[in-house]
Amino acid sequence: MNIGIPRERRDSEWRVGLTPAGVRLLTEAGHTCFIEHNAGLGSGFLDYDYQQAGGQIVYSGEEVYGRADLLLKVARPTVEEFGWMREGQIVMGFLHLAAGRREKIETLLQKRITAIAYETIQDDEGRLPVLTPISQVAGRMIPHVAGTLLQNNYGGKGILLGGVPGVAPADVVILGGGTVGTYAARAFLGLGASVHVLDRNLERLQYLDTLFKGRVTTMVSHTFNIERVVRFADVLVGAVLVPGARAPILVTREMVRSMRPRSVIMDISIDQGGCVETSRPTTHSNPTFEEEGVIHYCVPNMTGVLGRTATHALNNASWPHVRLITELGLEKALEADPALARGVNTRDGEIVHPVLRAAYEAINATKGANG
């Protein structure tokens, strides 16, 4: 099988789809790996490292796409990359199609691309094995960014997350008690912040209360409680996830207006459309904007600037699925691995993921109603 590892093209995206170690394993198994020039540079991997592992360096993204049967991506392809895809390819990466443009989904259908979204690979217990390590990285990164944005020189209130004796710590509210929310809560607690976590799953709240020994305030996530906590939040973290679907809007513009000036919103759900009404995607080059007097940080590829750590975390989790496809072929791999099969979003010109299909049909219905 021919495997392509392109250079990521989104702003400040330093991750790469496969490490030299992965390339070595594939080439030793008889496969051919085409790596775009400098694809691994942000993760600390030189072209030489890939060549030593048996890979072949090519000098354009178009060539990588043209040669590959299987493309190993990280971030959702750009419009240009969608144009380079050829019929019948397999594409793996964090695709977030429910929050993307309708035209991109249609391109996948027209070219009969098998699109496997890492964020929808899901085991029998509902766990997301490939998304989880990236969520762990994001959760631990959030307090570092939040603490910086609270500084006066970044437009913030001038608050230290942990406070000092005689001065209260920052109030942090986290919407969503999943992996991102849990790891963020742990990191905020470690810095001394006062932390509230809201989730609609009572069992999850009970787990978090036990995990943190009562040091985190847990609340059921519904409109009344969200309205209440946003008023005093110095930092509001949106960490809501519905696998494969657009994130629900939990924080309205009116709620944002009720927040204290120069508070910080970090909408980590922005890669799935965002859970705050006033959110819009930003980049690492220009990560924040102010809306209703509140600082918004909404970078979809947040962990892209931790190229080395995030790439290793991703490859540890994605490798078993990549290996299975290259060993067995796509059809048998999907039969052998139900979790991988659940990750398939499009195949043979059809949307096969039920949540994405429902979202796409809703978009079409709305378009039809609007003429």
| C-beta of residue 68 within 8 angstroms of C-beta of residue 88 | no
Beta bridge partners, 218, equal: 197
Q: How far is CA 313 from CA 12, 96, 132, 140, 176, in A?
A: 18, 19, 9, 13, 22
Beta strand 294-297 with 288-291 is: antiparallel
| C-beta of residue 146 within 8 angstroms of C-beta of residue 172 | yes
| C-beta of residue 200 within 8 angstroms of C-beta of residue 157 | no
E strands, the chain, where? 2-5, 32-36, 56-58, 70-72, 90-93, 114-117, 171-175, 194-199, 217-220, 235-238, 264-267, 288-291, 294-297, 344-347, 350-351
Q: Is the dihedral of CA 138, 139, 140, 142 positive or negative?
A: positive
| Separation of CA 27 from chain center | 29
Alpha-carbon distance of 39 to 305, in angstroms, equals 14
| C-beta of residue 58 within 8 angstroms of C-beta of residue 34 | yes
Which residue in 270, 237, 275 sits closest to 150, CA to CA? 237
The token pair at 119 is 């964020």
Q: What single letter denotes the amino acid at residue 313?
A: A
Number of H helices, E strands in the chain: 14, 15
| C-beta of residue 356 within 8 angstroms of C-beta of residue 345 | yes
HSE of 124 in the Cβ direction (CA atoms, 13 Å)?
Answer: 2
| C-beta of residue 18 within 8 angstroms of C-beta of residue 72 | yes
Which residues belong to the active site?
96, 271
